[in-house]
Amino acid sequence: QVQLVESGGGLVQPGGSLRLSCTASGSIFSTIFMAWYRRAPGKERELVASVTTADTTTYAVSVKGRFSISRDNAKNTVYLQMNSLKPEDTAVYYCNALTAGKAYWGQGTQVTVSS
């Protein structure tokens, strides 16, 4: 069983930055594949970024070059640094963990990009 707690969402103006954090407990963090998803109003959930246990990262085309995912195994935390935010980045962002064949989700954190 893995518990995920997210933080860092909020309201930001276009062009601004936010950093999301997701802290995991209940398993060996360094063995967990971590990812961030988002769901915008009226849209399907989409994968934003992921990081493997070997620190290999992948990004959605829409965020590549603006977002950066990283993990700190000593703090059991994965981060999503979001720069140059656009109104279309507005969504609920969810932390996701994959380990031992199971998927776990955080409660979600709202990110709103608006002037």
Is 92's pLDDT higher than 80? Answer: yes
Tracing tokens 């002037």 back to the chain, one arrives at 115
**Predicted pLDDT of residue 28:** 82
Q: Is 65 helix (H, G, I), strand (E, B) or coil?
A: coil
**Predicted pLDDT of residue 112:** 98
pLDDT band per the 50, 70, 90 thresholds, residue 86? very high
**Average pLDDT over every residue of 69-74:** 94
Pairing mode of beta strands 3-7, 46-51 = unpaired
pLDDT band per the 50, 70, 90 thresholds, residue 27? confident
CB 113 within 8 A of CB 14: yes
Residue 99 or 69, more confident: 69
pLDDT band per the 50, 70, 90 thresholds, residue 30? confident
Q: Measuring CA to CA, how many Å separate 22 from each of 37, 61, 80, 114?
A: 12, 22, 9, 24
Mean pLDDT score of the chain: 95
